[in-house]
Amino acid sequence: MRIYERGDFQGQMMEFFDDCPNTYDRFRFHDIHSCNVFDGHWMFYEEPNYRGRQYYLRSGEYRRYNDWGASSARIGSFRRIFFYEERNFQGRHYECGSDCSDLSSYFNRCNSIRVEGGNWILYEHPSYRGHQYYLWQGEYPDFQRWMGFNDSIRSCRFLSNHHGQYKMRIYERGDFQGQMMEFFDDCPNTYDRFRFQDIHSCNVFDGHWMFYEEPNYRGRQYYLRSGEYRRYNDWGASSARIGSFRRVHHKF
């Protein structure tokens, strides 16, 4: 990708092959007025460290900042994620920069992943179903590194930044019935705090959370964002068993 300080590919130009957490550090100014994407998928962010409004770019010419949907030229950072069919970042690969409900047409299997920025939830099946995995910036040379049950990754979701408080209520019965407890922090063992391990409904008021089937953040994972979950299958589970949960803190 080439970015320019003026429209129509004029002014100072810089060429990039990887992520940039702070455009000012690399480019000496925040405004990008035009851009030419030669390969891959990219995500622009209005603020440094992958924060603020997001803009998705695929291969093509962008002569003005409104070509990528922005109302100003301010871009603070950009990044990507790579999926590889084989272990150790070998074989056919696909670059992604935003949510994707079906990755099936891009690769047949996924045995390694390189996250060059941001935080992601990966799903075993299309439409954000099946086993879920939380990944942040780093290299994962085989699927065991992200605690995968197999080499199937068929959809992914990028986690937007959350800088406020965390608040969640969990219930022993469906439809927010029965005993209720309110949480603002992590819980390594729900039985110790809740006196039972089954959570049948949940209301997330603030922040991103991850449920785990077993205590101490082990077993199957379930990602929850703000919203109402009247039944355990609303968060993708096949049973109400939850052994632990914690807040999703962004890691870069």
pLDDT digits (tens, 9 = 90+) for 169-181: 999 999 999 999 9
pLDDT (mean) for 100-115: 93
Look at residue 251 in the predicted model and tell me its pLDDT: 58
Whether residue 118 contacts residue 155, with contact meaning beta carbons closer than 8 Å, is answered with no
Q: Which pLDDT tens digit goes with each residue over 173-223?
A: 999 999 999 999 999 999 998 887 899 999 999 999 999 999 999 999 999
pTM for this entry: 0.68
Question: Confidence class of residue 121 from pLDDT cuts 50, 70 and 90?
Answer: very high
Residue with tokens 């109400």: 240
Q: What's the whole-number average pLDDT of the chain?
A: 90
| pLDDT of 40 above 60 | yes
Whether residue 59 contacts residue 88, with contact meaning beta carbons closer than 8 Å, is answered with no
Look at residue 52 in the predicted model and tell me its pLDDT: 81
High-pLDDT (> 90) share of the chain, %: 63
Domains of the chain, first to last: 2-79 (2.60.20.10), 81-158 (2.60.20.10), 167-247 (2.60.20.10)
